[in-house]
Homo-oligomer: A and B are copies of this chain.
């Protein structure tokens, strides 16, 4: 079980010049809650999780999301479900930095 119950995404946002950065907020036996922080051109190549759902919620910037064959450019308020078994990915087209709240359920084995 997570040892803390509260987090503020404004304190957690952090970028890397090398690649999209993932910042863990909570990690439990039932879900993972992360921030994905991507500079222009950074993202995550399309991939599939066989048994996990991923929910994205755009907090700042804009992201181009792909789920299955659908692509959407979304800004703050945009919310995306990538169900288990469906290919998904994202990229930040820029120029602004992109911050996305991500919940994965159940957590990816690691």
Contact = CB atoms under 8 A, between A and B. Distances in A.
Interface of A: 1-2, 4-10, 25-26, 28, 30-31, 33, 52-53, 55, 57, 59, 65, 67-68, 70, 72, 74, 77-84, 86, 101, 103, 105-106
A1 B31 CA distance: 18
Nearest to A33: B55
21 contacts: A5-B70, A5-B81, A5-B82, A5-B83, A6-B67, A6-B72, A6-B79, A8-B74, A8-B79, A9-B57, A9-B77, A10-B77, A26-B55, A26-B81, A28-B81, A30-B84, A30-B105, A31-B103, A55-B103, A103-B103, A105-B106
